[in-house]
Structure formats: C-alpha cells, structure tokens
Amino acid sequence: MGPNCGGEPTGPIRKKIEEKFGSFSAFKTDFSNLLAGHFGSGWGWLVLKDDGTADIVQTHDAGSPLKENLGRPLLCCDVWEHAYYIDYKNDRLSYINSRLYSS
C-alpha cells in the first residue's frame, strides 16, 4: 500500500471483492467514496466477515474491526488528518487514491 506499490489483488481476495462489489473497479469507487466522506478521524477497512463475505467498514478514533466484531481485516487505510494533511491538505480523496490504487 503506497505510491508505486502493489497492484490489483489476485486469487481468493479478488474473488471475494468481485462477489461483493461486482468488480475491483466498483470496490475502489465504494471504498474511496466512503473513506473520503468519513466524519472526523479514523480508519477504513476491507474485512472478511464471519459468513465469508467481504465488506467495507469504517471505525473511529482507535477502533478496529477486531475490537468491534466487524470482521477480519484484509486492508486498512488511515484517514486521520496526520496521514494526509501535509501533502494533500483537505483533499482526502486524492490521498486515498494515491495510497491504494497507484501501481
């Protein structure tokens, strides 16, 4: 996770994403928009729920999907201001997209 890192998921994780969101592109849009609109400080997560499905959840402050029984974390994005403000100012969406989707 970071600029010029990674790439699109493959294998079982990709399959879970496509089952839930229809495509990886749709997941990216949903994940980015949810996190860009997150009120205050916190985290965005791609989780694997107990029923085996993938989902996007958000937590506030020091919350985590494990502590709040929301699922097993697969991907996390920090949306606290310290993570993006120096480079992106108030443009949280550009920060999210640069961290998660550049390859």
**What is the rounded distance in angstroms from the CA atom of residue 1 to the CA atom of residue 6?**
6
Question: Could you give all domains of the chain from N- to C-terminal order, each with its CATH number?
Answer: 11-100 (3.55.40.20)
Could you tell me the pTM of the whole model? 0.86
Which pLDDT tens digit goes with each residue over 46-81?
999 999 999 999 999 989 999 999 999 999 999 998
CA distances from 18 to 10, 35, 41, 86, 92 (A): 11, 19, 28, 34, 25
Kindly indicate the confidence band of residue 36, based on its pLDDT and cuts at 50, 70 and 90. very high
Which pLDDT tens digit goes with each residue over 12-22?
999 999 999 99
Q: Provide the total of helices (H) and of strands (E) in the chain, helices listed first.
A: 4, 3
pLDDT of residue 103: 55
